[in-house]
Amino acid sequence: MKRTSELLRDIAASHEDGEISIGECVARMGDRSFALAILVFSLPNSLPVPGIPGFSTITGIPILLIALQIIAGRQSIWLPHRVAEKKFQQAFLAKIVRKALPVVLWLERWLKPRLSFVCEGWGERLIGLLIFVMAAILALPIVGGNFLPGFAISLLALSLLEKDGLFASFAISFCVGSIYFMYKIVAYVLGAAMHWLFSLF
């Protein structure tokens, strides 16, 4: 079985000039398409670099749909026509994958098949549910709020790809911490906004 870094190298090496649709991109990912597609769509949000405004929403919606299908136990990915036909530059995808590869290679040093039952059956569906929650946060138009949920989704996708239940436990803990941190940030911003608003009257 190929490692995740090898699958990502294949994606980066096989790109051509021009655009590719989300549907075509998913179709190229083969039998590990669920976790690999989630990883690819989360990677642009997992890098600590300034993002394109609205891009987290564009990538978050396919993750939401794929996570729902993991929860439902589907065997292949289905995307609505309007989502599947959305296009992006293949060179952009290859660039993101190349930037993320060093991090993936570093994480792979600790990734290996173990406690695989956590990543199969109902365990996989529960991870899908957590990915759905994180993708919902990712899709929100929060300025600078895409890194933590994006990175958390990437960790969960890696654990599914490598069938590493122990790593999945760490990823789940990271997700819970990210949700709490995001909640505190949003609560602080809303509280400050309300305080400023009431101070006007």
- Compute the distance between CA of residue 52 and CA of residue 44 in angstroms, rounded to an integer: 9
How far CA 146 is from CA of 46, 60, 118, in Å, comes to 8, 10, 26
Looking at residue 34, what is its pLDDT? 85
Looking at residue 30, what is its pLDDT? 61
Domain total in the chain: 1
Looking at residue 16, what is its pLDDT? 61
DSSP character string of 88-145: EEHHHHHHHHHHHHHHHHHHHTT--SBSGGGGSHHHHHHHHHHHHHHHHHHHS--TT-
- Compute the distance between CA of residue 134 and CA of residue 139 in angstroms, rounded to an integer: 9
CA dihedral 41, 51, 189, 193 (to 10 degrees): -120
Residues 6+ apart with CB under 8 A from 117: 123, 165
Looking at residue 108, what is its pLDDT? 85
Residues 6+ apart with CB under 8 A from 90: 15, 16, 17, 18, 19, 20
Asked if residue 128 lies in contact with residue 72, where contact means CB atoms within 8 angstroms, the answer is no
- Compute the distance between CA of residue 99 and CA of residue 46 in angstroms, rounded to an integer: 10
Closest among 7, 39, 38, 37 to 25, alpha carbons compared:
37
Residue span of the structural domain in which 59 resides: 4-199
Looking at residue 103, what is its pLDDT? 82
Looking at residue 27, what is its pLDDT? 73
List the pLDDT tens digit at each of the 201 positions of the chain.
678 888 777 776 765 667 777 777 777 676 567 888 888 888 877 776 555 556 777 788 889 989 999 999 887 788 788 878 877 777 777 777 787 888 888 888 888 889 988 888 899 999 999 999 999 888 876 666 678 888 999 999 999 988 999 999 999 999 999 888 888 887 887 888 888 878 776
Looking at residue 78, what is its pLDDT? 82
Closest among 42, 2, 13, 8 to 157, alpha carbons compared:
42
